[in-house]
Homo-oligomer: A and B are copies of this chain.
Amino acid sequence: MKKRIRIILADDHRMFLEGLHALLASTEDIKIVGLALNGMEVMNLLKKEEIDLVVTDINMPGMDGITLNSTIKKQYPHIKTLVLSTYSDPDKIIKLTNNKANGYLLKNAEKDELLKAIHTIYAGNNYFSREVQEKYTNSIFSGTTETEGAPVLSKREKEILKYIAAEYTTPEIAEKLFISQYTVNTHRKNLIAKLGVKNVAGLVKYAFQNGMA
């Protein structure tokens, strides 16, 4: 008899967790060993059970997906991890690859892709969904930094973009970040130039389309 893949599922939303459980329960070669509502529960389960793969949400109270992933990898380097997320945030993906996560998948994916990811990872390879790869090829998967595709925003610029999208004005942002209004102004001008938009409306639009707001 073929060995089944032993999996723990982790997500802070019970409904999603139970749904995922039900979705995978019918699959022959997969065995759901445990369900966890947060990172702590995952670690407790790992002490008791033999696990092949942990499928976890990236956003969870207490210990989030990124911290959980690195914790798992430190204590149980042989256990594979697949991270799920609502959107594709480049920063988080980079952190996850640094922490040796074996896969990253959007919750928008279908069951088939989820199964494909699980099997690919179990076979010893990594799996990053196409949408994620396409968007962030430059920053992660290829060493070359081609600026043609996705405009590269600096840390500070992203920060300010978020504030703009959150309806903060220049004086407010300046006060929040303890910098001059002139500086905020410069950043906004650079953002507009880099992103090729016309005004705040364009900035907010970009922020939304890239999961930054």
Q: Which residues does A use to contact B, with CB under 8 Å?
A: 12-16, 18-23, 25-26, 84, 86, 106-111, 114, 164-167, 169, 197-205, 208, 213
Can you identify 20 A-B contacts, CB atoms within 8 angstroms?
Answer: A13-B106, A14-B109, A15-B23, A15-B107, A15-B108, A15-B109, A16-B16, A16-B19, A16-B107, A19-B19, A19-B23, A21-B23, A22-B23, A165-B205, A167-B205, A200-B200, A200-B204, A201-B201, A204-B204, A205-B208
CA A25 – CA B114 in complex, angstroms? 19
**A23 CB contacts on chain B under 8 angstroms:** 15, 18-19, 21-23
A-B contacts besides A15-B84, A19-B23, 19 pairs, CB < 8 Å: A14-B108, A14-B110, A14-B111, A15-B23, A15-B110, A15-B111, A16-B19, A18-B23, A19-B19, A22-B25, A22-B26, A23-B23, A165-B201, A167-B201, A169-B199, A199-B200, A201-B201, A204-B204, A205-B208
A165 to chain B, nearest CB (A): 6
Q: How many whole Å from A59's CB to the nearest CB in chain B? A: 10
Residue of B nearest to A14 (CB): B110
Task: Please report whether the interface of chain A is mostly helix, strand, loop or mixed according to DSSP.
Answer: helix
Q: Among B114, B197, B208, which residue has its beta carbon within 8 angstroms of that of A15?
A: B114
Min distance, Cβ A198 to any Cβ of chain B, angstroms: 4
Partner of A167, one of B106, B165, B202: B202
B13 contacts A111, CB within 8 Å?
Answer: no
Residues of B within 8 A of A200 (CB): 199-201, 204
Other-chain contact of A208, B16, B84, B208 (Cβ < 8 Å): B208
Kindly report which residue of chain B lies nearest to residue A213, judged by CB atoms.
B205
Residue of B nearest to A199 (CB): B167
Chain B min CB distance to A171 (Å): 13
Q: Smallest Cβ distance from A141 to chain B, in angstroms?
A: 23
